[in-house]
Every structure is written in C-alpha cells, then in structure tokens.
With several copies, the nearest count.
Chain A
Amino acid sequence: MTLLGSEPETPFVVELGQFSGPLDLLLSLIRDERVDIYDIPIARIADQFLARIRTMGLDQAADYLEMAARLLRIKAQMLLPRHDTDDAWEDPRAELVRRLLEYQQMREVVDVLERYAEDRRSRFARQYFPPSNVETPPAPLALSLAELLSAVDRVLRVVRDPAMHDVIPRALDVDGAIATIRGVLELRERARWRDVVRQGAERWEILSSLLALLELARRGELKLAQPSPFANVWIRRESPGQAA
C-alpha cells in the first residue's frame, strides 16, 4: 500500500473532504431522498450509502465501512418477521435515528460557531508592540497553604499505601491499553512507561499495557527504546512517513 497518493488516488482525497464523516454522508442522502428521518427506508438508504462510498473511493476509510456494516445489520434486522402484538419490539433504527439527530444538532451549533468565528476573523487586534524600557519588578508570587495542601493530596492519591493493595484476578484488557497508549501518543511524541500505566496500576493492567506496547510496536505505530538495562523505557510515536 502506498501512503503517498499516486495519481489515481488524488480524487479520493478531494471527494473525502466533502463529508466530515459517515453521519454527514448519511444525512446528505436522507436530504437528497427527502425521506423522514424517523422512518428511514433503510434498505434503499443502505444501498445508496454503499454505492456512494464505492464510487467515491470512501471504502478505504474505516469509519465509513463501519457505518456501512451497521446499515446492513439494521437492514437484516428489519427483515426479521415480527408480530403486530409484539409490544417489546424495538425499532432497529432507533439508535441510528438518535445519532443522526444528535449529529444534526451539533451541525446547528457549528453554523453558530462559524458565524462567530467569521465575525472575529474580520477584525484585527493590535500587532505592534515596541520593546519596553521600563524596569519592572518581578511579579509577586501567589502561594497559599491551601494550594500546597491540595497538591499534597494529589501526590498522595498517586502514592498509595501498598498495604491497601488487593490483587483481584482480572482478564487482560489489551484493547483498552492500546487506546490509552494511542491517546497519550496523540498528544505527545514521546512518552514513558509511567505515562501510559497509571501509578499503582494493578498487575493485569501492567500486563495489558506491556502486551499493548509490543503489539503497537509490531504494527509499527511506535518504537520502544531502553538506553540501558533497568533504565526508563521510552515510547516514541512513529510518524506515518517513517512507518511507510
């Protein structure tokens, strides 16, 4: 797989930019088809969704594929026979409708934000600040005992008494650990073991994180380094360019 778009892939990028996600594409289909959002003809919309992501090359984007799978699942559920007397029947589309409405509302907020941002963008603040000749005393320090004590509390929450520690056997959660590590590496290029495993982590959490690190290293998402035996392990994000 090439990461840098060769020529045939260029239109894909352009088309993808039209929609900010699968819900956006779905809403645009619902609008185009003029169907009721509370009573979506799911078979028709699912087929169109699939057709659109195929023609637009969106089938490379995992988020769109996930939505396609969801639509097909709902379509299948709608085909299951049901009795009119079945009060417990829950519309398989309910969750999708809820998400679409929520997404629509957020888009409404986006419109408002855009207006505000445009207003601010059209005014300039002062830019020129000549160097100052005035000798100013250093800023006074604001320090209260309350602040110090709450800092102490924060430290203590991390350094718990080992005697309070109960080991409960738990299954490993490698996926959870992978999510955590990815989260940390999104904000920082380099992290340490301590950044991805909370202080006082339980054994299963430590093992989960270790397995997650090895797995992510195998996938080329990060690099692990230990400069010397027993030294801190450094976790470094691999940029996509290097990974390719």
Chain B
Amino acid sequence: MSPLAKLLEAALFSSARPVPVEELAALDPEASPAAVRAALDELREAYDVNGHGIELTELGEGFQILTRPEYTEAIERAQLAVRPHRLSAASLETLAIIAYRQPIGRAEIEEIRGVNVGGVLKSLHERGLIDVVGRAEGLGRPLLYGTTPLFLEQFALRHLEELPRADELAVALRAEPRAV
C-alpha cells in the first residue's frame, strides 16, 4: 500500500468516530483531497482483494473501517460464551448467607457482612438466584429473602438439605455476630 493509504488506515483505526475526507486530508499537508480519495480507494481494494475480515465504509459522517457483517454474530456470541458471568466475592458471600440462613432480612445480612448489601441483593434477585419469601414481623416489616429453584439447579441439588455442611454452618451463622 502507498504511504498515504497506510497513514489513513492508522488514522481511521484510531479515531473514535467516522472521519470526513477534509479531516483525513489534514493528516498530510502535501496530500490533496483527490489524493486522499485515491488512497481511500486503494485501502478499500486492499481489504476487498486480499480478503480481509474488515472493510472500508463511508458512513453519513465520514469514513470508518468496520468488521464485515458476516462475522458480527459469531464474534458477539463467542465473547459471551467464553466469558460466563462470575459472581463477585461480595455476591457469593451474600448468597451463602442467604442459602444457609433463609429466610433472612437485609439488616441481618448486613449485620453479618458488615457492609451495605442493597446492590448485591438487587443483582442476585435479577439473576433469579434469590427471591422475596416473606416479611418479618416488627417495625417496617422488612422483606425476607430466600434462594430459588434456579439456585438449586445451578448446583445440581434436589433440596437445600443437600448443601454440604448445612448443620454446622447453619449453627455457626445463627450465632449472633459480636456487638461492636
């Protein structure tokens, strides 16, 4: 490719938006708009003739290099497939507390974990791993949370009693956290 075509390729690649021809011409003070157009054609052809996964496209606002449409779907699916969503340590800890101590209210979880768990509860709920299972008696009648069938499914368990060390952990978690 010509030096100008290479420069245009690098510039289009690194620009956050499509670039109009006039701006591309500013890259090289010696290059006329016609020369820029010719170099763009050269770049387009290099992608088309040599067989590339990308192509040069003229969008409304200017030129950009885009991936060819036939690859888009494979890419997006693959990205999701290999990056399964992992729960954060905070989510796992909260989930563990709920699993072993349900039904349990938010204040109690926060008492054990020592941090605000509002956001974590919301995301666990959105993922369908926990649900509201009732309301406690007393002031404000706070919501009580428990695990869902999906939670069991995730661990291939038939019922909660199959959770390992259930007795031991339930007892330990039931012990009141130390008053500070």
Q: Interface residues, chain A, CB within 8 Å of chain B? A: 20-23, 62-63, 67, 98-99, 101-110, 112-114, 116-117, 119-130, 132, 134, 136-145, 147-152, 154-156, 158-162, 165, 173, 176-177, 179-180, 182-183, 186-187, 192-195, 197-201, 206
Q: Chain B contact residues (Cβ within 8 angstroms of A): what range? A: 35 or more
Query: Closest A-chain residue to B106, C-beta based?
Result: A183
Q: Contacts A112-B163, A176-B139 known; A206 to B180 CB distance under 8 Å?
A: yes
> Given A109-B164, A124-B72, A183-B106, A201–B93 Cβ distance below 8 Å?
no
B residues near A (Cβ < 8 Å) are 10, 13-18, 57, 59, 64-69, 72-73, 75-77, 80-81, 83-87, 89-90, 92-93, 95-97, 99-100, 106-107, 111-116, 118-119, 121-122, 125, 127, 132, 139-143, 153-157, 163-166, 169-178, 180
A155 near B69: Cβ-Cβ < 8 Å:
no
Can you list 22 A-B pairs with a CB-CB distance of less than 8 A? Answer: A20-B93, A20-B113, A22-B115, A98-B174, A106-B112, A113-B92, A113-B95, A121-B83, A122-B83, A127-B14, A134-B73, A139-B80, A141-B85, A141-B127, A143-B154, A149-B165, A151-B92, A151-B96, A155-B173, A159-B173, A179-B140, A195-B114
Are A152's CB and B72's CB within 8 A? no
Task: Kindly state the separation between the CA atoms of A143 and B177 in the bound complex, as whole angstroms.
Answer: 27
Known A112-B163, A125-B16, A125-B66; contact A145-B142, beta-carbon cutoff 8 A: no
Chain A interface mostly: helix
Selected from A21, A108, A200, the residue in CB contact (under 8 A) with B115 is A21
* Contacts A117-B154, A152-B169; A128 near B140 (Cβ below 8 A): no
Q: A126 to B113: give the CA distance in the assembly, Å.
A: 37
From the candidates B10, B13, B100, name the one contacting A109 in the complex (CB within 8 A): B100
Q: Are A126 and B173 in contact (CB under 8 A)?
A: no
CB <8 Å contact, B67 and A124: yes
Contact A158-B87, Cβ < 8 Å, known A112-B164, A124-B66, A129-B16: no
By a CB distance below 8 angstroms, the chain B residues around A112 are 163-164
Contacts of A145 in B (CB 8 A): 155, 164
Known contacts A21-B113, A122-B72; is-contact A110 B173 (Cβ 8 Å):
no
Q: How far is the CA of A186 from the CA of B123 in the complex (A)?
A: 10
Which of these, B100, B166, B178, contacts A199 with CB under 8 Å? B178
